[in-house]
Structures are given as structure tokens and as C-alpha cells.
Amino acid sequence: MEDDEGGTQELVGINESALRKWGNSVEASLGSDETWVEGDPGGSLHAEMVLYKYAEETGGTIVGIGASKKFCAVCGSFLLEKLGQAKLGQLVNP
């Protein structure tokens, strides 16, 4: 993500439904150049939507986004519309 001053951050998040089980482990494994974005532990957003929401709320611009698995149809369509194919780490067919 790029902030309004041109600085960049590497954001990391996981599905909200996995926060209770995996959140602490993932957060503890991050490098010093990575920023943990925690969603709502009672929520149901997928990781890419948690990251998109964070960027929107903080005024950042997503310069690229990827996932360890294929985007679901809903997330893929949303991200394709909002960000464009060039910023997605995988091919999304509309």
C-alpha cells in the first residue's frame, strides 16, 4: 500500500474467521517491514477484503494484492472492478 506521502507498506492479513486460530501465529511471524492488519475476530471478511477496507479507511492506495489461494468469485470480481487486473496477483476472469 502506498500512503499519501509516497511511502509504501507491506500489509498482511488473514480471513477474519481464522483470526482466533491463526492470528497470533501469523502476526508473530511477520518481518520488520510488514504491517499486521487485523480484522474483526467475529467477522467473516476474507483477507483481501480486510486489506482493501484498511486501505480505504487509512487513505492508502493499494499498489498490488495477492492471496495464498485463488480469490473467491465475490472478492475477485470486487477487486477487479476496484483495482484492475494489473494490481492483482492472479488472473481474474469476470
* 29-45 tens-digit pLDDT: 999 999 999 999 899 99
d(CA 58, CA 69): 26
Q: What is the mean pLDDT of residues 69-90?
A: 95
Kindly list the domain boundaries of the chain, sorted by start residue: 10-68
Residue 94 has pLDDT above 80, yes or no: no
The Cα diameter of the chain in Å comes to 36
Residue 93 has pLDDT above 90, yes or no: no
The predicted-structure confidence for 36-75, as pLDDT tens digits, reads as follows 999 998 999 999 999 999 999 999 999 999 998 999 999 9
At 16 the pLDDT is 93
